Amino acid sequence: MANSYLLETPRRTAATNSLQIATLIGSLSRSVALLTVVTLLSLVHAINIGGVGAMLGELFPRSVRATGGAVVYSLGVAIFGGFAQFFVTSLIVATGSTLAPAWYVIGCGLLGLVAVAFIDEGSRKALD
């Protein structure tokens, strides 16, 4: 029982923290909220982008490594970043909640975790 609680706690904490941060940002003045959001997103992006290059390099054989990495990265950014305004606006209209963007970010994060779970570990394999 204690082990299952320990396994569930990080997921619950991440979702709870995201909603608490969104609520806190909603209570700030516009300029402070903007600066806070940009700073938080920049930190998350900096943490994330380091591993993405290594992961994309391991996913593809040498002959298509640059093209494969560029296409995969560009499609992800285009779909989840380019249509983000549409998805978030639709969520706000459907739910009536201004916290809907936080749910979108949580959903994208969970989708990313599922995708990473299916990637083969390549640290002990030689890159061709």
CA 31 to chain centroid = 24
pLDDT value at residue 14: 58
- Asked if the structure places residue 36 within a domain, the reply is yes
Pair 69, 60: CB distance under 8 Å: yes
Q: Domain total for the chain?
A: 1
- Asked if the structure places residue 23 within a domain, the reply is yes
| Ranges of the chain whose pLDDT falls below 50 | 1-9
- Asked if the structure places residue 17 within a domain, the reply is yes
- Asked if the structure places residue 24 within a domain, the reply is yes
Tens digits of residue pLDDT in 113-127: 898 888 887 777 777
- Asked if the structure places residue 124 within a domain, the reply is no
The string of DSSP codes covering 88-99 is: HHHHHHHH--TT
pLDDT value at residue 89: 92
- Asked if the structure places residue 127 within a domain, the reply is no
The string of DSSP codes covering 22-82 is: HHHHHTS-HHHHHHHHHHHHHHHHHHHHHHHHHHHHHHS-GGGHHHHHHHHHHHHIIIIII
pTM of the full predicted structure?
0.58
What are the Cα distances from residue 22, in Å, to 46, 78, 102? 20, 24, 6
- Alpha carbon distance 23, 99 (integer Å): 7
Q: What domain range includes position 55?
A: 2-117
By three-state DSSP, how is residue 20 classified? helix
- Alpha carbon distance 76, 71 (integer Å): 9
- Asked if the structure places residue 122 within a domain, the reply is no
- Asked if the structure places residue 58 within a domain, the reply is yes
pLDDT value at residue 81: 86
